[in-house]
Amino acid sequence: MVRRNAGVGVLAATILGSAMPGIDATAVNVALPILQREMRASGDATQWVVEGYSLFLSALILVGGSLGDHLGRRRMFLWGVILFAAASLGCAIAQTMGQLIAARCLQGIGGALLVPESLALITASFDERSRGAAIGTWSGFLAATMAIGPLLGGWLVQMYSWRLVFLINLPVALAVVSVTLACVAESRDPQAARRIDWLGASLATAALGALTYGFIALQDMRASAIGIRVVIGAVALLLAFIYVEHRSSAPMIPLGIFSSRTFTVANVYTLLLYAALGAALFFVPFNLINVQHYTPFQAGAALLPMIVLMFVSSRWSGALVARIGARIPLTLGAAIAGFGFVLFALCGIGGSYWTTFFPAVLVLGIGTSTFVAPLTTIVMNSAPQEHAGSASGINNAISRVAGLLAIALLGIVVVAATRAALPASVRNALGTQSLITGHAAQPALRYAVEHAYVAGFRDAMLLCALLAWISAAAAASLLPRER
Q: How many CB atoms are closer than 10 A to CB 431? A: 8
- Residue ranges of alpha helices (H) inside 190-289 are 198-217, 224-247, 261-286
d(Cα 82, Cα 61) in Å, to the nearest integer?
A: 16
d(Cα 342, Cα 25) in Å, to the nearest integer?
A: 24
Q: Are 296 and 160 in contact (CB under 8 A)?
A: no
**Nearest of 380, 381, 382 to residue 118 by alpha carbon:** 380
How many residues can be counted in the chain? 483
**Nearest of 257, 280, 107 to residue 189 by alpha carbon:** 257
pLDDT per 10-residue tile (average), the chain, 483 residues: 58 85 78 83 78 80 75 87 94 90 92 82 74 74 71 81 87 90 75 67 81 75 75 90 82 76 90 92 87 86 82 66 78 94 91 92 91 81 69 77 84 86 74 63 72 90 96 90 62
Q: Are 342 and 280 in contact (CB under 8 A)?
A: no
Q: What integer pLDDT is reported at residue 426 of this predicted model?
A: 73
Give whole-number Cα distances, 462 to 136, 290, 333, 346, 472, in Å. 30, 20, 17, 9, 15
Q: What integer pLDDT is reported at residue 195 of this predicted model?
A: 65
d(Cα 437, Cα 47) in Å, to the nearest integer?
A: 9
Q: Are 69 and 123 in contact (CB under 8 A)?
A: no
* Dihedral sign of CA atoms 165, 166, 170, 176 in order: positive
Q: Are 147 and 304 in contact (CB under 8 A)?
A: yes
d(Cα 202, Cα 63) in Å, to the nearest integer?
A: 10
Give whole-number Cα distances, 39 to 31, 97, 205, in Å. 12, 7, 28
* Dihedral sign of CA atoms 442, 444, 445, 450 in order: positive
Q: What integer pLDDT is reported at residue 3 of this predicted model?
A: 43
Q: Are 388 and 123 in contact (CB under 8 A)?
A: yes
Q: Are 114 and 85 in contact (CB under 8 A)?
A: no
CATH H-level superfamily of 6-184+252-478: MFS general substrate transporter like domains (1.20.1250.20)
Q: Are 302 and 468 in contact (CB under 8 A)?
A: no
Stated as kind and residue range, the H or E segment containing 109 is helix 97-125
- List pLDDT tens digits, range 138-183: 876 776 666 677 777 788 888 888 888 888 889 989 999 998 888 8
Give the domain ranges of the chain.
6-184+252-478, 197-251
Whole-model pTM: value is: 0.77
**Nearest of 67, 72, 13 to residue 390 by alpha carbon:** 67
